Amino acid sequence: MAYESANDRLDAPDRAVWTEPAVIRDEASGVERLDLRYRTIFLSDLHLGSNGCQARELSAFLKCVRCETLYLVGDVIDMWRLKSKWYWPGKHNRVIGRILKMARKGTRVVYIPGNHDEHARQYAGLSFGGVELLLDAEHMTADGKRLFISHGDQFDMVVKHARALSMLGSASYELLLRINRQYNRIRRLFGLNYWSLSQFLKLKVKSACTYISKFEEALTDEAKRKGFDGVVCGHIHKAEIRPDARHPGMMYYNCGDWVESCTALVELHDGSIRLLDGKAVVDRLRQYGQLSGGRRSRGQRRRAPQSKQRIEGVQVG
């Protein structure tokens, strides 16, 4: 299987913001495994309840990661989609089960609803199954940085002032995903990697680029006004880490999504925050035998698999 990195799928210019899991070797048995222990994990735009959600990969990812705090940064459940047509297969139940299990085992789980699951906002301040519901949150990194955490739809003028247009955009996006899935099935027949039509249009259409820019500026302005050092958000399905040029010292972090890019923000134990390619991690977990479908015989030594494309300047988590 070709190793396909999310920063290739997203055409990300700065590869230094991505990380790969460290590999731990058991000296007694010689067996190697991926180390997926982080201080904090941020996920957004899971869209459970829609057929675009990559729930199988997400469930596998959640099964193997460990963290002190898990932030679910909005659009966890796609209530818009469920309202028009019920869709809830077993693999979506497994994702919910994984999250609740993490909460039971001591992980602090914070759920910040977005526009697709806005009905959950009425329960802000309550806790269900160990999962805290908040409208937004503050996170302090290990190196003392204060981060403002919000899904971000409150700073999207289309969602805020033109709800019908926003829902039309959501339906159009789902149509694009269906077309894209068929197109990528053909690409796989020719040995080509995944290509995102929606990401291509976002990057190439000038009005879409302007929309994204204004969204990011509104969020960082609010974080600056409140005295934060950075902002963590989701909403626009565009994973990114970058400094804000208008506010020195301010950082912008976007989790991405689990519809196409399958990305997560992870805080390492030194307080640094990196992007993690969830789909590539799941593929490597199978190679190392940490998930079903990639089992090794007992005692078999495993050398670290070589990726098809090396990521330069990457930090090991």
What DSSP letter does each residue of the chain carry, written as one string? -----HHHHTT-S-GGGEEE-EEEE-TTT--EEEE-EEEEEEE----BTSTT--HHHHHHHHHH-EEEEEEE-S-SB-HHHHHHS----HHHHHHHHHHHHHHHTT-EEEE---STTGGGGGGTT-EETTEEE-SSEEEE-TTS-EEEE---GGG-HHHHH-HHHHHHHHHHHHHHHHHHHHHHHHHHHTTPPP--HHHHHHHH-HHHHHHHHHHHHHHHHHHHHTT-SEEEE-SS---EEEE-TTSTT-EEEE---TTTT-EEEEE-TTS-EEEEEHHHHHHHHHHTTSSTT----TT---PPPPPSS--TTPEE-
d(CA 317, CA 278): 13
d(CA 149, CA 219): 10
pLDDT tier at 15, thresholds 50, 70, 90:
low
pLDDT tier at 183, thresholds 50, 70, 90:
low
What's the rounded mean pLDDT across residues 89-102? 97
Model confidence, pTM: 0.77
Question: Does residue 259 have a pLDDT over 70?
Answer: yes
d(CA 148, CA 140): 9
Contact at 8 Å (CB) between 110 and 137?
yes
Lowest mean pLDDT among 57-71, 166-180, 279-293: 166-180
List Cα–Cα distances, 214 to 140, 198, 221, in angstroms. 26, 19, 10
Q: What does the pLDDT read at residue 228?
A: 97
Q: Which domains does the chain have, with CATH numbers?
A: 16-298 (3.60.21.10)
Question: Does residue 196 have a pLDDT over 80?
Answer: no
Q: What does the pLDDT read at residue 213?
A: 72
Q: Which residue has the tokens 């009425």?
A: 122
30: left (phi over 0), alpha (psi -120 to 50) or beta: left
Lowest mean pLDDT among 98-112, 188-202, 266-280: 188-202
Please tell me which residue, 280 or 1, carries the higher pLDDT value. Answer: 280
What's the rounded mean pLDDT across residues 91-100? 98
Question: Does residue 209 have a pLDDT over 70?
Answer: no
Question: Does residue 160 have a pLDDT over 80?
Answer: no
Laid out side by side, the sheet with 108-111 consists of: 127-128, 131-133, 108-111, 66-72, 37-43, 263-267, 273-277, 18-20, 315-316
Task: State the first-to-last Cα distance of the chain, in angstroms, to the nearest integer.
Answer: 23
Burial class (CB in 10 A: 0-12, 13-18, 19+), 292: exposed
Question: Does residue 38 have a pLDDT over 50?
Answer: yes
Q: What does the pLDDT read at residue 188?
A: 72
Question: Does residue 53 have a pLDDT over 90?
Answer: yes
Question: Does residue 72 have a pLDDT over 70?
Answer: yes
Question: Does residue 29 have a pLDDT over 70?
Answer: yes
Q: What does the pLDDT read at residue 210?
A: 55
d(CA 89, CA 92): 6
pLDDT tier at 186, thresholds 50, 70, 90:
confident
What's the rounded mean pLDDT across residues 235-263? 94
257 residue type, one letter? D
Question: Does residue 139 have a pLDDT over 70?
Answer: yes
pLDDT tier at 215, thresholds 50, 70, 90:
confident
Q: What does the pLDDT read at residue 77?
A: 97
pLDDT tier at 3, thresholds 50, 70, 90:
very low
Q: What does the pLDDT read at residue 316?
A: 33
pLDDT tier at 296, thresholds 50, 70, 90:
very low
User: Average pLDDT, whole number, for the chain?
Assistant: 82
Contact at 8 Å (CB) between 98 and 66?
no
What's the rounded mean pLDDT across residues 270-274? 97
